[in-house]
Amino acid sequence: MDRLRAFEVFASVVSRGSFTRAADALDTSPANVTRYINELEAHLGTRLLNRSSRKLSLTESGEALYERSKSILEEVAEAEALASSATLQPRGRLRINAPVSFGIRHLAPLWPLFMQAYPEVELDIALSDRVVDIVEEGYDLAIRISRAGSASHAARKLGTSRNIVCASPAYLKAHGQPEKPADLVGHRCLGYTYAATANEWHFVDDAGRPHMVKVNYVMHANNGDTAREAAIAGQGVIWQPAFLIGDDLKAGRLVALMPGYRMPDIDVLAVYPSRRHLSAKVRVMVDFLVEAFQPVPSWEVPPGPGVTEKAIARAARHRRVK
């Protein structure tokens, strides 16, 4: 059995919803289409399609294979284009994973600009605050917020964000203002579930000396905006990256604490499986994001034109003239 051809037949049957329409699209007979599907199911040892006289539906195994088959066929098409053309155009589906708050605030305004610049690339965006396995879960690219970078995948840095300890004016009026890390022991703190250091908050003072304090949490949240809202409402002290709370600090909804102490910065990274055989669609997306956040990310500058306005001007340079 030609497995690549079988994947092509299977994907065509699913996308067109019919053995007959798939046969027409592939310029073959319905009997051949049926044979390929039967051989593929026998090879995999599982049913992929539920057949009835009126319609086809995917089994759970069929759904998983369909998603992977589309990616495989897109990569094969790109490989063929690369072999036959010196000017490969980015095309096909691009699956991207990104953190929820960062994705909404700083990436969502960019997607329409990228789509305008590269109309043959289909974006498939998934937002999640957990760290996904980009290979196992079939992502082409992930945006990660990390202090340690990526040891197992290739990565390019998009920007850096300060981590800032802060609280609302109402909370500070009721509970007092901490002057040094050790003072946080007596305060209500709001934690981020995925933080690598759990309830240990690490600082460096102006002289470069390290400080660590174990805080007491009154709430954990697996999303930064949830903790941010609780802090704005006066429920405790948080540390969050500047890209999340920068506007709140500028507006006075939150107040930065302990100016003589600094938490380690974090990097915003574009992570992908490998630098080798990098597809055109991933390459142009990474280049696009690097440029959009350069030279200094909008969350690290005073109020003014934000990432959307900067990206609009820069995206013009990406657009191909038809």
pLDDT over 90, % of the chain: 43
pLDDT tops 60 at residue 85: no
For 92-153+270-315, CATH number out of 3.40.190.10, 3.90.1150.10, 3.40.50.620, 3.40.50.300 equals 3.40.190.10
Taken in order 100, 103, 109, 113, is the CA torsion positive or negative? negative
Q: For 209-256, what is each residue's pLDDT tens digit?
A: 999 999 999 999 988 899 999 999 999 999 999 999 999 999 999 999
Are 3-84 and 163-264 in the same CATH fold? no
Q: In the prediction, which pLDDT does 152 show?
A: 57
How many C-beta atoms lie closer than 10 Å to residue 266's C-beta? 19
- Indicate if the alpha-carbon torsion angle 21, 25, 27, 32 is positive or negative: negative
To the nearest 10 degrees (0 to 180), the angle between helices 30-44 and 3-16 is 110
DSSP 237: B
Name the residue ranges covered by the structural domains of the chain: 3-84, 92-153+270-315, 163-264
Q: Which of 169, 88, 142, 117 is nearest to 270 (CA)?
A: 142
Q: How confident is the model at residue 276 (pLDDT cuts 50, 70, 90)?
A: low
Q: CATH for 3-84?
A: 1.10.10.10
Burial per residue of 51-80, b for 16 or more beta-carbon CB atoms within 10 angstroms, e otherwise: eeeeebebeeebeebbbebbbbbbeeebee
Q: What is the CA radius of gyration of the chain?
A: 25
Kindly state the average pLDDT of the residues 65-92.
73
pLDDT, average across residues 145-167: 80
pTM greater than the 0.75 cutoff: no
Looking at 3.40.50.300, 3.40.190.10, 3.60.20.10, 2.40.50.140, the CATH number of the domain 163-264 comes to 3.40.190.10
CA 253-104-258 angle, to 5 degrees, is 35
Measured distance CA(281)–CA(255) in Å, rounded: 42
pLDDT, position 88: 65
Q: 64, 137 in Cβ contact below 8 A?
A: no
